[in-house]
Amino acid sequence: MTSLPAHPTGTPHHDHTHDGTGCADVLDLDAQVFGGLLDAAVAVAVEHAPDAVRTVVDLGAGTGTGTRALARAFPRADVVAVDADAAMLDRLRAGLVGTGLADRVRTVEADLDAGWPEVGTADVVWASASLHHVADPARVLRDARDALVPGGLLVVVEMTATAPVLPDDAAHADLAAHLESAIAQAGWNRYPDWTPFLTDAGLEVVDRREPTAVVPPGPAASRWAHATAARQRAHLADRLDPDGLAALDAVLAATAPSDPTAPTRTHPAAPGRAPGEHTVAARGGRIVWAARRPR
């Protein structure tokens, strides 16, 4: 689910640029913190899927959080996890150890821009934060339709605004707005409304939802906020005004690992924070489209 640039026309731009383990770590943290949003998206798939789901294809599976969720949601189905990054697929397979799901998950290393992968017929195709990375999403959607059984379901998921929430909203209330503006200027995570794309591919859109969540402060939220803010600070600093940079630095200070030998921590975002105290929440959202191949 890395955020990559898009063409000015709104057509997604293909790019395989990753920063290795750091990217995978952020993906896993995002999934851990916003697991409720993943559950909400999977629930849409379960609600609209055909009665007997035997095969689910996860396009752009990444580290496998969605793959595992789909395997649990469809306990009688095999799940085919597709990704162009071999390291991501290695991590996905490692994450299956001890879950009882490994015998129902198959991985396929494939670049969607090179053509539709050899995955066979599918009852459900799932594309979470991956469709906007391909060069020709219209072609991929047509291929997905052709791979679906009559009555089969395609689910597309994209991220909406995701930002840390500082404890003093009076001082840093505009952090989300600062980040949204900078991210838009950088062209990160840009995608169109997929509804007409799905319709043009010959699919019937049966659902569209926008679940949101605010996750309270805690260890996972702190780790996610620190990793996310560090990446944003590194890549967006020249697009943020001084107030935005100050708010982002406050997130980094508030979520820095505590020194257990120090009695207190003092910084602008959380003065007097005790070791181990967590003060930064996380806000996020998704858009979920569900579209069916006509029978």
pLDDT in tens, the chain (295 residues): 333 233 222 333 333 334 445 577 777 888 889 999 999 999 999 999 999 999 999 999 999 999 999 999 999 999 999 999 999 999 999 999 999 999 999 999 999 999 999 999 999 999 999 999 999 999 999 999 999 999 999 999 999 878 888 876 555 557 777 777 777 777 676 789 999 999 999 999 999 999 999 999 999 999 999 988 888 888 888 888 888 888 888 889 888 986 554 444 444 444 445 555 788 999 999 999 999 999 9
pLDDT digits (tens, 9 = 90+) for 8-29: 223 333 333 344 455 777 778 8
**What's the number of CA atoms in the CB half-sphere (13 Å) around residue 242?**
0
Asked whether residue 114 is domain-assigned, the answer is yes
List the CATH number of the domain containing 34: 3.40.50.150
Model pLDDT, residue 247: 85
Asked whether residue 235 is domain-assigned, the answer is no
Asked whether residue 247 is domain-assigned, the answer is no
Q: Which domain holds residue 59?
A: 21-165+189-215+280-293
Asked whether residue 51 is domain-assigned, the answer is yes
Q: What sign has the CA pseudo-torsion 237, 242, 248, 252?
A: positive
Model pLDDT, residue 71: 98
Q: How far apart are CA 187 and CA 93, in angstroms?
A: 32
Provide the residue count of the chain: 295
Asked whether residue 183 is domain-assigned, the answer is no
Total structural domains in the chain? 1
Asked whether residue 132 is domain-assigned, the answer is yes
Asked whether residue 272 is domain-assigned, the answer is no
Model pLDDT, residue 176: 75
Model pLDDT, residue 43: 98
Beta bridge partners of 283: 163, 214
Asked whether residue 109 is domain-assigned, the answer is yes
